[in-house]
Structure 1
Amino acid sequence: MSDGSGPRAARGSIEDGTPRSSRLRRLRPRLPAMTLRTRLTLTYAVLFTLGGCVLVLAMTTAFYHEIFRPLPAHEVPSRLDPDHDHIVGLSDQIRDAAASRLLVISLVLLAVVVALSALAGWWVAGRMLRPLAAITAAARRAGDTTLHERLRLPGPDDELKELGDTFDAMLERLDAAFAAQRRFVANASHELRTPLALTRAAVEVTVAKPAVTEAQWRAMAADVADSTERAQHLIAALLVLARSEQRVTDPVEDDLADIAAEALDGIAAAVRARRLRLRVELDPAPVRANVALLGIAAANLLENAVRHNRDGGLLRVATAAAREGEQAVLTVANDGPVLDPRHVGDLFEPFHRGVHTRRGARAQGAPEGSGLGLSIVRAVARAHGGQVTAEARPEGGLTVTLRLPA
């Protein structure tokens, strides 16, 4: 007969759907995780203990070997005293007691030294890991409003100093990225608000009139179409910029000269309309890249060179392979107004239109454009692992150089 304890016990172990072993593991107290400082201290203590034990054993063994080794033959007396055996036994007892006492004293001293070494190791580990604590605290404080803070760790140029400098550089890049993002969002909001405001104003002015003629309706429709087209172009440019800032995942082999030639075909009508003096030097420049993005970058460079040129001015386009074929280079130079070399780098910022840039409304006489052309070029260059630079020409205008790894 069965008392039923077995089945009841089995049912009790699974009645809550959890195996008994799992519940027992959850009931066990969890030990706190050891910090790096504690692990270093324990490592120092263990290593010192092992070394001390080896030293004590070696010292005791040598001591035993020296005091218990037999006397040389020439030191043994020829005539033995009647009490010789008693003296030898007493001597053995004295040596045993001395060896045992030496072992006890050595072990006590070893324990004291291990304790002191553990305390010293704890202090040394704290001193060595203090930069890590500072880095951890800075990482916890890091936010979009505290990215301007820097560690600037003092001390020698060791691994921890290098880690702190790397963390400072990362904070600097993040701070610049957040600042650029805030500027971009603010500028994009303003640029998108302008065509919408123009559309709304045109509609409200027309609707508010007591009697609207067909010509007025057509004029309003034209204004709305222009504003809508401007917003559409801006949104398209923003999408291209966002796509350009990603890493290239599907590169193909092509020639930068062919890409530049296609971009030249797109601006041929504008070049003839403004009677520009065109100089083309398209030498072979093999490149492995995303052809679509690179075509947009080349087209933006040429369109900017035409838009910001003067009638009858110079437009020079050249491609070449540099550094023994390791780079493909596209150079675009144009005439135009004299630019301040100190502010040339600002032209690559989103929505920057050179001397026509204004944060309120579009300046009078500013060339048409969204102000994203050179920003897209820079994003495309970075996505391909290259770079783009601009240099103000003394006689006026700009020289932009796009360098891509071949």
Structure 2
Amino acid sequence: MTRYPFGRPPGLRLRLSLLIGFLLFDGGVILLVLAWTFADLGTLTLLEGIGAIVVITLAGMLAGYLLTGRALRPIHQVTATARRLSEQTLDQRIGPQGSDDEVAELAGTFDAMLDRLAQSFDSQRRFVANASHELRTPLAVMRTEIDVTLADPDADAAELRRMAGVVRQASERANGLIEALLVLARSEGQRGRLARTASVDLADDVAAALAAMRYEMDRVQIEVDSDLRPAPVQGDPDLLSRLAGNLVENAVRYNHLHGRLWARTGVDGGQVFLEVGNSGFEVAQRDVPGLFEPFRRGGRERTGARGSGLGLSIVRAVCDAHGGTVAVTAHPAPDGGLTVAVRLPAG
């Protein structure tokens, strides 16, 4: 480990000034030696030359110190801004610099990084607030039902059974939300580096998801059109199963009476595709990107129980974890609805 006389290394400004002085001094000495050798200079001239070299070196070091200080001023601004930053002060920026050079590029890059951090913190705050709200609702329902029932001295077995049913439904909703949050966190945590992989056929996952939603689809008389050709991929079986399940569940939940649902799987150009579409309420194409945000529901659910609002967020996170893509297309009225197209590397 290098030890310095004053306990810390010299700053960049001082090192650049010393380098300038070193170059000027060496250059002056070389020129003086050459002139003294070939021009037969006298001793007095040699001493004057040495004095001039010393003066030029000191002047060069001083000028270099001043110029490098001016050149490094934006870097000091970057450092000062970084020291002041916290989650509450991410709105501070260095701003544009006068010249279009490397330092200005550094300042612009730093400001762009702060923009991304601010967006990330805002998204995280919204996510935590929404998750807290979603979890607080079923807990409040359970507490209210229990308190009201216990406060009623005439509550009979029927009332207790009704209360138990409401509490059970609320607890199932809370449990479903927690499971969805865990799946989302797990998917985002494995982006590009899956903990485990296996050979999975998305056609089988979609068929299983359709079978699981059969009762709900029959209840509201949804017409199903499926073309499930082999779609082999290498990935996490649980996450891929959740991806297919979320798409089918959304297509049923955000549908209407006597609606339609279609599902396609297969291989195209070295990629596996999965498309699930449904009829339903009209969604503007400009609102489609927001559907991938957690707890964003594209509209009113028509046929199913209220969901957690994490369906497409999980789909996108699973696609990212497997190196794939997902796109949503909104259907114009009168049919309405959406088509979600997933593409993953074939395996």
Same fold (TM over 0.5): yes
- In terms of Rg, which structure is larger? 1
Equivalent in 310, 315, 325 of residue 372 of structure 1: 310
Cα deviation, residue 351, structure 1: 1.7
Asked if 1 retains the 8 angstrom alpha-carbon contact of 2:253 and 2:303, the reply is: no
Cα deviation, residue 104, structure 1: 1.7
Asked if 2 retains the 8 angstrom alpha-carbon contact of 1:349 and 1:375, the reply is: yes
Deviations 1:296-328 (A, max 9, x none): 122111110111012332323233555x42x44
**Aligned residue pair count:** 339
The match for 2:261 is 315
The match for 1:49 is 25
The match for 1:82 is none
The match for 1:140 is 83
Cα deviation, residue 206, structure 1: 1.4
The match for 2:47 is 104
The match for 1:61 is 37
Cα deviation, residue 274, structure 1: 3.3
Q: Does residue 334 of the first structure (1) align with residue 287 of the second (2)? A: no
Q: Percent identity?
A: 46
After superposition, the Cα gap between the structure-2 partners of 1:152 and 1:386, relative to the gap in structure 1 and judged at 3 Å, is: farther
Q: Does residue 347 of the first structure (1) align with residue 291 of the second (2)? A: yes
Equivalent in 118, 134, 151 of residue 175 of structure 1: 118
Deviations 1:30-56 (A, max 9, x none): 444311111122122212222222222
Q: Does residue 383 of the first structure (1) align with residue 321 of the second (2)? A: yes
After superposition, the Cα gap between the structure-2 partners of 1:133 and 1:63, relative to the gap in structure 1 and judged at 3 Å, is: same
Equivalent in 233, 246, 268 of residue 176 of structure 2: 233
Deviations 1:77-113 (A, max 9, x none): xxxxxxxxxxxxxxxxxxxxx5222222221211121
The match for 2:9 is 33
After superposition, the Cα gap between the structure-2 partners of 1:405 and 1:167, relative to the gap in structure 1 and judged at 3 Å, is: farther
The match for 1:393 is 331
Cα deviation, residue 289, structure 1: 2.5
User: More deviation in 394-403 or 229-238?
Assistant: 394-403
The match for 2:344 is 404
After superposition, the Cα gap between the structure-2 partners of 1:136 and 1:252, relative to the gap in structure 1 and judged at 3 Å, is: farther
User: More deviation in 172-181 or 381-390?
Assistant: 381-390
TM-score of the pair, normalised by structure 2: 0.87
Deviations 1:219-241 (A, max 9, x none): 11111111111111111111112
Structure 2 residue runs without a partner (length 5+): none
TM-score of the pair, normalised by structure 1: 0.75
Cα deviation, residue 144, structure 1: 0.8
Asked if 2 retains the 8 angstrom alpha-carbon contact of 1:308 and 1:367, the reply is: no
SS at match of 1:245: helix
CA–CA distance in 2 between the matches of 1:374 and 1:38? 55
Cα deviation, residue 365, structure 1: 8.8
User: More deviation in 108-117 or 268-277?
Assistant: 268-277
1:15-34 map, 5 Å: 30-34=6-10
Q: CA RMSD of the aligned region, Å?
A: 2.7
Asked if 1 retains the 8 angstrom alpha-carbon contact of 2:231 and 2:267, the reply is: yes
Asked if 1 retains the 8 angstrom alpha-carbon contact of 2:255 and 2:337, the reply is: yes
CA–CA distance in 2 between the matches of 1:32 and 1:159? 27
Cα deviation, residue 150, structure 1: 2.6
